[in-house]
Structure 1
Amino acid sequence: MAFATNGETCVFYERMAAGDGPAVILLAGAGRPSTDFDGLFAAPLVAAGLVPIRVDNRDTGRSTALVDAVPDLPAIRAAALGNGDALPPYGIADMASDVLAVMDAEAIDRAHFIGRSIGGLIAQQLAVRHPDRVVSLSLIMAMSRSMADVIPDAALDRLMAENIADEAAYVERQIGVAQANAMAQDFDAERISAEARIAWRHGIHRGGTARHFAASLAAPDLRAALDAVRVPTLILHGRHDKVIPLARAAETAAAIPGATFEIDETMGHDGPPRLRAAWARRIAAHLAAADPNLHPKSHM
């Protein structure tokens, strides 16, 4: 466990394996700490000879949180649609710079990247602006531009009003999120509660999800620039994702030359254990195909 520094931002990260194998950097979704990438997810990557490094994006976990910055999400959404000039507290480029700080702190010249939701958007930003630092991309729940045109103001108002007082309230929130976004077959209140407690104790910060949404609403459209990306890319998306439309993932795949796009018919906008394990096995195979020095092993 360690910290990297990017200006006034401290970024927490953790190596999940010893050794000097190729680094694979794990970037979680909006408002979510790095604990979303657990041992179940890391095991197939480690077995393939990789060194997973999970990163707390700013405003999550043990990284710097800007709890006094309250974004006006409807105004930022309007600006992204061409009506106004409201800005988020920080942008996707700033979050990408945090990741570069981690790489520099660990003397990592190039890495594989696994990004979930906004984490994938950060990874794409790095591939576009710093192609020399990116070996491959694995994007789960992918988008490559602002979601301003598909997120209603009512949803943003709820995020701005959200005030999670304690662990019990966060557990209740996560159960509600799972009921809204997950597949019914994956709903397990006990499991969801346990994972929520792990996340809370690692670090859930007031307004963190709203600030991440602000950054994603103001995100640049990367599609044209992605045409220059020349790294092996895998995109995994759920047919039933209610947060990021399937069309957003499809256009991301179309924008990246040679990208592999796989649709999971049993996946929403959630990461239950069965999917975490499946994602990791598929990504390990993807990375092995990109690097003959890797040897993925069957991991149950």
Structure 2
Amino acid sequence: MERFVDAAPDVRLWTESLGPADAPPLLLIMGAQASGLGWPDELVDLLTARHHVIRYDHRDTGRSTWSFAERPYRITDLAQDAIAVLDGLGVARAHIVGMSLGGMLTQLLVADHPDRLLSATLIGTHALSTVPYTRADGTRVPPEELPGIDARLLELWARPVEELDLEAELDRRVAHWRLLNGDRLPFDAAYFRELERRVVRHTGHHSVNDAHARADPSGMDRTERLARTDVPTLVVSAPAEPVAPPPHDRHLAQAVRGARVVEIPGMGHALPREVHGPLAAAILEHTEPIGHTRRPLNGNTG
């Protein structure tokens, strides 16, 4: 079921709910400049076996309001948008899965709104913490000295945004996915081209913008709150990750109290077919024992 919710004055967010309405809710939060359709249907279908799955378009993506040029916002506002989605759909608490920027937004929710989460799953993201990473030998590494983003991606992201015809724009997006996919799993260009073609049809145009890259990132450090959280947290380890390469996954698990790590073999910073089964299995194993809450926000049941 598709529905729009109001997140702020003159800001509406597109949402889609799939799976049994009485199943435990699971909210998917995508990365920067990515539509909710960046969560592949095949992966969503696997998650609906046990969950009422919700995906949505961030501001300035998909069918949600594109407004950054007129009304700039902060990255932390995007975290509040996730709460607005839950509120708009009448969900009191949900399992939340965040990828990339979505993983950072999920950390903000763990820190600031723990009462709204049943669990958190973090994929391909950096810790919002200044706690040093502790190696197996006991040496400590400041977060800023951990491995950086793949240089090929940085070069691609540094290029000016250009208005291209549809097929050229799809070429650009596929080239981007090729780098994000990493070098351990085969890259299916046709699969990602069709995914992006669906995003274009969903959005109604193929324009691009860099709103999330320009949004104010200040005020995101949550070192102390993450270190004392009680939200059950899973960190997905992707050995071919080019955006948050190892050991960022282990650092994240050290920064978030009680977090555990599950590796998805061959995974990078993309969601090709090969990872759907293992990733869904890891998420479902994490969420299954935590319980079921689908009560409306007013506290009534039924």
Match of 1:179 in 2: 178
Residue 213 of structure 1: SS of its match in structure 2?
helix
Describe how 1:181-220 pairs up with structure 2 within 5 A: 181-184=180-183, 185-203=185-203, 206-208=207-209, 210-215=210-215, 217-218=217-218, 220=220
Structure 2 counterpart of 1:252: 252
CA distance in 2, matches of 1:217, 1:104: 24
The 3 A distance-change label for structure 1 pair 188 and 216 is farther
| Distance of aligned partners of 1:246 and 1:289 in 2 relative to their CA distance in 1, 3 Å threshold | same
- 1:100-249 to 2 correspondences below 5 Å: 100-145=83-128, 150=148, 155=154, 158-159=157-158, 161-184=160-183, 185-203=185-203, 206-208=207-209, 210-215=210-215, 217-218=217-218, 220-249=220-249
Distance of 2:68 and 2:231 partners within structure 1: 36
Tell me which of 7, 18, 28 is aligned to 1:26.
28
Structure 1 residue 56: deviation in Å? 0.7
* Letter aligned with residue 105 of structure 1: G
Identity, in percent, stands at 28
What is the distance in 2 between the residues matched to 1:292 and 1:95? Answer: 26
Within a 5 Å distance, the mapping from 1:54-69 to structure 2 comes to 54-66=55-67, 68=69
Report how far residue 199 of structure 1 moved: 1.5
Q: Is this contact kept in 2: 1:253–1:259, CA < 8 A? A: yes
Q: Following the alignment from structure 1 to structure 2, what is the Cα–Cα distance between the partners of residues 199 and 148?
A: 34
- The alignment covers a number of residue pairs equal to 274
Q: Is the 8 A contact 1:33 1:202 kept in 2?
A: no
In structure 2, C-alpha distance between the alignment counterparts of 1:262 and 1:19, rounded to whole Å? 28
> Could you tell me which residue of structure 1 aligns to residue 45 of structure 2?
43
Change (3 A) 1:242 1:93: same
Match of 1:270 in 2: 270
Runs of 4+ in 1 over 6 A off after TM superposition: 146-149
| Partner-residue secondary structure (3-state), 1:122 | helix
2:55 alignment partner AA: R
Matched, 1:13 2:12: no
Conservation of the 8 A alpha-carbon contact between 1:67 and 1:205: no
Higher helix share: 1
Which one-letter code corresponds to 1:59 in the other structure? Answer: D
RMSD: 2.9
For residues 27-79 of structure 1, the C-alpha deviation after alignment (integer angstroms, 9 at most, x for no partner) is 1111111112233112232212x10000111111111113636xxxxxxxxxx
Q: Normalising by structure 1, what TM-score?
A: 0.81
Q: Which amino acid aligns with 2:22?
A: D
Moved more, 177-186 or 135-144: 177-186
> 1:239-279 CA deviation, whole Å, 9 max, x = no partner?
22111222332222111111111233412221101112321
Q: 1:133 to 1:292 in 2, by over 3 A?
A: closer
Q: Which amino acid aligns with 1:54?
A: R
Query: TM-score, with normalisation over the residues of structure 2?
Result: 0.81
On the 8 A contact 1:142/1:235 being kept in 2, the answer is no
The amino acid that maps onto 2:287 is L
> Is 2:92 the partner of 1:93?
no
CA distance in 2, matches of 1:131, 1:182: 32
- Unaligned runs of at least 5 residues, structure 1: 70-87, 294-300
Q: 1:206 to 1:228 in 2, by over 3 A?
A: farther
Answer whether contact 2:75 2:217 (CA < 8 A) is retained.
Answer: no
